[in-house]
A and B are shown apart, each in its own frame.
Chain A
Amino acid sequence: MNSDLAVQLFIQGILMGGIYGLIALGLSLIFGVMGVINFAHGPMMVMGMYISYWIFVLLGIDPYVSLLLVAAAIFVLGYVIQSSVVNRILDYPEAMQVLPLVAMGLVLENMALLLWGPDHRSPDTALSLKTIWIGSAVIDVSRLMAFGLSAVITLLIILFLKKTHTGKCIRAAADNRTGSILVGINVNRINNLSFGLGAATTGAAGALLLPLMPLSPHLGHDFTLTAFIVVILGGLGSLMGAMVGGLVLGVAESMATLFLPATLKQVVSFGILIVIMLFRPQGIFGGKK
């Protein structure tokens, strides 16, 4: 084992963690406001990747440029899913809320299979093979971009929630639904917006991932699971928690390859999950309930 390798793995872990954070951010936002867990989260991200892929292949626009467009498209998808499905199941028992969203995930996944086929697609974007060298350590430019943009998006979302009127409404609805209805907030609309926003962030994460990994319809579920672990790690409903949880998980997974065979990577993530559940079930940033 050498220190160069450790530094390299640490850098890669941090950068990957940023993207995990962005994916988890949406999941956390949706849970925070509606109290439902979006099991279609990963497949939504994959949809974002496909849209970004399409725009790149058909129009030649780089994923970093089409990012906003992709986020907007997935926002619409999220908005529609919330208004047509999720709003109807908010008062149902949790077990019943799971099913429509799992089903939605399957629908999206198989839609992608139908539309784009099963191939692994990995277009050669402008930055996908660029690297920066610092001594013997290499930084992957597309990973750095993804990390940077993830951080910016997270910051923007947090500012939006803290400073704008709509943001305050979302927080109010998350805090006390009945109370918000009483003071005249249109909670259904706020729900739609929140789900759309959560979906948009995961769509954006998809666009950021396109230069990094081959795209296939079945990619999504692993990321739902990763996002879930990150959210629990950081604290359900906490946005800062999602970011920090993402970084912790990214570094842990990457550094684990120093000591463990890569096949045990998931053991590390689930191990962390179990430890957190045992000793700090509310997560790193979670408040006491």
Chain B
Amino acid sequence: MKMQQEVKSMDRRTFLKVSGAVGLGVAAGGFGVPRLLRAEPEPVKIGSVQPVTGPLAVIGQGQRRGNQVAVDYINSKGGIKSLGGAKLELILGDSESKPEVGRSEADRVIQEGAVSLIGAFQSGVAMAIATLAEQRRIPFLMDVAALDAITQKGYKYTFRIFPTVTDFGQGSVNFVRQILDETGAKPKRAVVTNTGDPFGKGQGGNFIQFFEKSGIPVEIVEHITYPLGIHDLSAEVAKIKAAKPDLLFPVCRPGDSIILTRELYKQKVPLMGVISPGSPGWYEPKVIQDLGKLVYYVMDNVPWVYPQSEAYKEANLKFSEMHPGSYLDTNSGFAYTGILVLADALERAGSTETEKLLEALKTTDFKDHPMVGDAIKFKDNGDNANATTAMVQVLPDPDPDKRVKVVLPKKFAEAEYVFPAPQLWERG
């Protein structure tokens, strides 16, 4: 007994000594690091301005994570080799979901030495930053932002890898036509809903324009706009029900999509299907989890990740390792891709000088990305010539993380789509 106790106490002492020594070592090592770093080239700073707080915080944090995971990835592969292995460094900005704040945050990160900007998720914020980027002569890469107008002002420093609202409109109309042709379903009436922010209005209004021009024999009988961050949609859903639609085309954000779906269930609105012309709110892990069966069969026309690609598998593994419970979706996927595109341009430019970086960006031909679509190439106005959307559908699967599946185009599809969908209250 005694022996054992002695051994025990000895152990504790040894432990203390060892841990003390380790602690000292770590501390010393910590102090030593900056000296070692001096031999390395200066890090290349990229300013990331995303809506990390405010009504879009869920998405904004995903965006920031997408940017950060890609930066870590580039650094783990040895940084920018043509710059002597310079590491990338993300300077973080928070737009608070407001254009004026986004602009001042962008200004701040430029002053802190950013050689390029990435952001901003919201078109309104992106517009404000694009103007600033033009004034300050700093390349601005929009990872996500869809409003066409941003790239129609002849700006030289603005690039976009995300599809424009026009791409969305064209994509959704084509997919709807394909689904109706293939299934022989004959819906007659449809309702379009959207949030009242620039994206929602642009996306909703644009979809209606494309849809009415397309000659698809479905009449849009009601168009409902409601404010971003609304808490109650019972009145709006009562209005939807009164319009007796067969199809619902909602442009949502996470939050209102949940209220909308539950309210459709409660008020028993019969529908052949819910097809979003392209919006968040239908594929986020929390939404899928909280809505359960009610969100099944919702289709969403979004630029999406290409799950079969190696680039996706690698990126998603890193992303979900660093942020358990989340996966790379359309937005964080583009946030990730945006950094890769900037790193590729820096690599080819071999310099952080604006003019060289700009030239390199213009000649981008980037294939190795994790999204649905061909190589990223920029048109003269800065838009991605090969930007495209996919139709995804939430399909039953015991694992909530695997419910969102690409169903169209067939070339990229993981599963067959289900249309018409069973009614919300007939799902057991």
Q: Does B320 contact A (CB under 8 A)?
A: no
As a 0/1 sequence over residues 133 to 161 of chain A, the CB contacts with chain B under 8 angstroms (1 = contact) are 00000101001000000000000000000
**Interface residue tally of chain B, by bracket?**
35 or more
B385 partner residues in chain A, CB cutoff 8 A: none
Let me know if A113 and B53 touch, CB within 8 A. Answer: yes
Chain B: interface secondary structure?
A: helix
Let me know if A5 and B231 touch, CB within 8 A. Answer: no
* Stretch touching chain B among A97-105, A227-235, A254-262: A254-262
Q: Tally chain A residues at the interface, Cβ within 8 Å.
A: 39
Let me know if A218 and B57 touch, CB within 8 A. Answer: yes
For A254, the closest partner residue in chain B by CB is B235
Let me know if B53 and A118 touch, CB within 8 A. Answer: yes
Q: Which of A9, A131, A218, A219 is the one whose CB lies under 8 Å from B238?
A: A9
Given contacts A5-B238, A120-B287, contact A262 B258 (CB under 8 A): no
Let me know if A12 and B238 touch, CB within 8 A. Answer: yes
Q: Does B58 contact A (CB under 8 A)?
A: yes
Let me know if A262 and B242 touch, CB within 8 A. Answer: no
Given contacts A119-B58, A120-B58, contact A262 B230 (CB under 8 A): yes
Q: Does B354 contact A (CB under 8 A)?
A: no
CB distance from A263 to the nearest CB of B (A): 4
CB distance from A245 to the nearest CB of B (A): 18
Q: Does A128 contact B (CB under 8 A)?
A: yes
Q: Does A177 contact B (CB under 8 A)?
A: no
As a 0/1 sequence over residues 210 to 239 of chain B, the CB contacts with chain A under 8 angstroms (1 = contact) are 000000000000001111011110111011
A164 partner residues in chain B, CB cutoff 8 A: none
Q: Does A222 contact B (CB under 8 A)?
A: yes
Q: Does B245 contact A (CB under 8 A)?
A: no
CB distance from B331 to the nearest CB of A (A): 14
B229 partner residues in chain A, CB cutoff 8 A: 218, 222
As a 0/1 sequence over residues 103 to 118 of chain A, the CB contacts with chain B under 8 angstroms (1 = contact) are 0000000000100011
| Chain A, 257-282, CB within 8 A of any chain B CB | 257, 261-263, 265-266
Let me know if A263 and B225 touch, CB within 8 A. Answer: yes
Please give the residue numbers on chain A whose beta carbons come within 8 Å of chain B beta carbons, in ascending order: 2, 4-5, 8-9, 12-13, 16, 113, 117-124, 128-129, 131, 138, 140, 143, 212-214, 216-219, 222, 253-254, 257, 261-263, 265-266
Q: List 8 A-B contacts (CB under 8 A).
A: A12-B238, A13-B235, A120-B255, A122-B258, A129-B262, A131-B268, A214-B290, A257-B235
